[in-house]
């Protein structure tokens, strides 16, 4: 009778496990080294360079003020800084433009008429709104002094229309709040006034609003993990 010899392979399993563990320990650092982070340039969401000329109506404002020209110029400057070479044609105030084409509102007919009158293929218009300063009075815990400040709110809404179809190509709305320094008085009769007038305060908000509103026109960098 032939005796069968039973072989014990447990040592092999042990050996394989150790080998796999060793290979894993070697491979993980290699794979990690192959994976790295790259700084990638992301193009702007909206490319305005594709338009031959974009007509710009002076932005309106509430309340009515000299800020209209300032907001318009700041907007053009910011967009052209983000996309050099964009061609803007300044058309003047909304009233002037509508008077020239014989209409009273910016609607489909007006958009097409503006395109014919000024030879532009897109139209940009926006509205800046600011609230009156809201008083904020604070009495110190010791009741020895009184501070009176103010909070103002402002918003900017912008639209771009395509002349041929009259459709809205792009629109954006941004809003900001800003504290304005105010009156300070103590029990000794000392009074200090540290704020500027509302016009100046609104003016300080404009660059922030414009920069936020034009985000879609700027390219930006993003860090991405690649292998």
From CA 52, how far away is CA 107, in angstroms rounded? 22
pLDDT at residue number 127: 96
- Provide mean pLDDT across the span 61-74: 86
Average pLDDT of every residue of the chain: 81
Per-residue pLDDT, 193: 38
- From residue 73, give the alpha-carbon distance in Å to each of 24, 59, 90, 171, 201: 62, 9, 10, 18, 18
For the domain made up of 41-215, the CATH class stated in words is: alpha beta
Measured at the CA of 68, the angle between CA 66 and CA 74, to 5 degrees, comes to 115
Range list of β-strands (E), the chain:
36-42, 54-57, 60-62, 88-92, 122-130, 134-139, 145-162, 168-186, 191-193, 220-226
Helix, coil or strand: residue 146:
strand
**Low-confidence winner among 150-154, 199-203, 215-219 (lowest mean pLDDT):** 199-203
- CB 134, CB 182: distance < 8 Å: no
Residue 154 in contact with residue 209, Cβ under 8 Å?
A: yes
> Helix H segments across 36-151?
67-82, 94-101, 108-118
In the chain, what percentage of residues exceed pLDDT 90? 51
Say how many CA atoms lie within 13 Å of 105 toward its Cβ. Answer: 2
Q: Is the pLDDT at 8 greater than 50, yes or no?
A: yes
Considering the entire predicted model, what is its pTM?
Answer: 0.72
**Which residues lie below 8 Å from residue 130, measured CB to CB, with a gap of 6+?**
61, 62, 63, 152, 153, 154, 155, 198, 202, 205
Query: pLDDT tens for residues 155-173?
Result: 999 999 999 999 999 999 9
pLDDT recorded at residue 194: 47
Tell me the per-residue pLDDT of 31-56, one tens digit each, with 9 for 90 and over.
555 667 888 889 999 999 999 999 99
How far apart (Å, rounded) are the C-alpha atoms in residues 172 and 45? 13
Please tell me the distance from the alpha carbon of residue 71 to that of residue 85, in angstroms, as a whole number: 20
101-158 pLDDT, tens digit each? 999 999 999 999 999 999 999 999 999 998 876 666 555 555 555 556 667 889 999 9
Q: Helix, strand or coil for residue 66?
A: coil
**Res 111: pLDDT:** 97
- Residue 224: predicted pLDDT: 79
**Distance in angstroms between the alpha carbons of the first and the last residue of the chain:** 63
223 pLDDT band, cuts 50/70/90, is: confident
pLDDT over threshold 60, residue 81: yes
Confidence bin at 199 (pLDDT 50/70/90): low
Task: Provide the sign of the torsion angle of the four alpha carbons 44, 46, 50, 52, taken in this order.
Answer: negative
């Amino acid at each position: 009778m032939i005796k069968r010899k039973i072989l014990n392979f447990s040592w092999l399993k042990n050996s394989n496990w150790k080998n796999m563990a060793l290979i894993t320990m070697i491979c993980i650092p290699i794979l990690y080294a192959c994976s790295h982070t790259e700084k990638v340039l992301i193009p702007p969401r909206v490319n305005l360079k594709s338009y031959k000329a974009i007509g710009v109506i002076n932005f309106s404002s509430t309340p009515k003020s000299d800020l209209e020209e300032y907001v318009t110029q700041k907007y053009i400057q910011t967009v052209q800084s983000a996309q050099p070479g964009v061609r803007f044609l300044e058309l003047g105030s909304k009233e002037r433009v509508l008077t020239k084409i014989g209409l009273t509102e910016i609607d489909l007919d007006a958009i097409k008429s503006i395109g014919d009158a000024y030879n532009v293929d897109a139209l940009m218009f926006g509205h800046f709104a600011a609230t009156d300063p809201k008083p904020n009075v604070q009495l110190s815990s010791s009741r020895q002094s009184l501070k009176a400040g103010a909070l103002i709110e402002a918003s900017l809404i912008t639209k771009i229309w395509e002349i041929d179809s009259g459709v809205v190509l792009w629109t954006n709305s941004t809003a900001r709040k800003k504290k304005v320094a105010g009156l300070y008085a103590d029990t000794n009769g000392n009074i200090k006034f540290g704020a500027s007038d509302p016009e100046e305060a609104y003016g300080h908000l404009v660059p922030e609003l414009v920069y936020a509103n034009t985000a879609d026109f700027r390219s930006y960098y993003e860090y991405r993990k690649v292998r």
